[in-house]
Amino acid sequence: MNEGDSAPDFELAANDGTNVKLSSFLGKKNVVLCFYPKNHLFACPSKKVFEMAQATIAVYPKIKELGAELFAISIDTVPDQKKFVQEYDVPYLHLSDTAKTVCKAYAGLNIAGLAKRSTFVIGKDGKISKIFRDINPEKHGQEIISSLQNLP
């Protein structure tokens, strides 16, 4: 998948019990999809995942102000996503892709079958405007804001 490609549609369950369908934002909002491996990993416990998300959490109000939606996606189950979001008071929805189809289509999977850490910025037109694959956790929130400011 490359910048300029049409973003494949999907529907995934969120930590709040709702379903999120990407195409429902078409023509209405820009969308940011943040893929990450898993909430609980031996070398990367939930607290570390949360610390890595801090730059994104910090700019979330600005993302909303810019009229965009942000979703975090991993292979965790809905109950695991709910627990993680509640435990760390994360302000945006985490989507569950236990079938790994969306993670595979967008981010790709690593050798352990987990999503590779990456972010996709999708315009209102449904096209991928920016892909971040080498993510610097401290700067990533501002990178997302910059890419959203360049969209109509």
Per-residue pLDDT of the chain (152 residues; tens, 9 = 90+): 899 999 999 999 999 999 999 999 999 999 999 998 887 665 544 455 666 678 889 999 999 999 999 999 999 999 999 998 998 889 999 999 999 999 999 999 989 898 998 999 999 999 999 999 988 877 889 999 999 998 98
Fill in the DSSP letter of residue 107: T
Residue 52: give the domain boundaries.
27-136+145-149
The pLDDT tens digits for 73-106 are 999 999 999 998 998 889 999 999 999 999 999 9
User: How many domains in the chain?
Assistant: 1
DSSP assignment of 90-144 equals -SS-EEE-TT-HHHHHHT-B-TTS-BPSEEEEE-TTSBEEEEE-S--TTTHHHHH
Of 101, 106, 100, nearest to 119 by C-alpha is 106
For position 98, which CATH number holds?
3.40.30.10
Is the pTM higher than 0.85? The answer reads yes
Residues carrying an active site annotation: 44
What pLDDT is stored for residue 135 in this prediction? 83
Of 124, 126, 55, nearest to 90 by C-alpha is 55
What pLDDT is stored for residue 97 in this prediction? 97
User: Max CA-CA distance within the chain?
Assistant: 41
Residue 13 lies in a domain: no
What pLDDT is stored for residue 25 in this prediction? 98
Using DSSP bridges, classify how beta strands 68-74 and 30-35 pair: parallel, antiparallel or unpaired.
parallel
What pLDDT is stored for residue 40 in this prediction? 66
Residue 97 lies in a domain: yes
Residue 4 lies in a domain: no
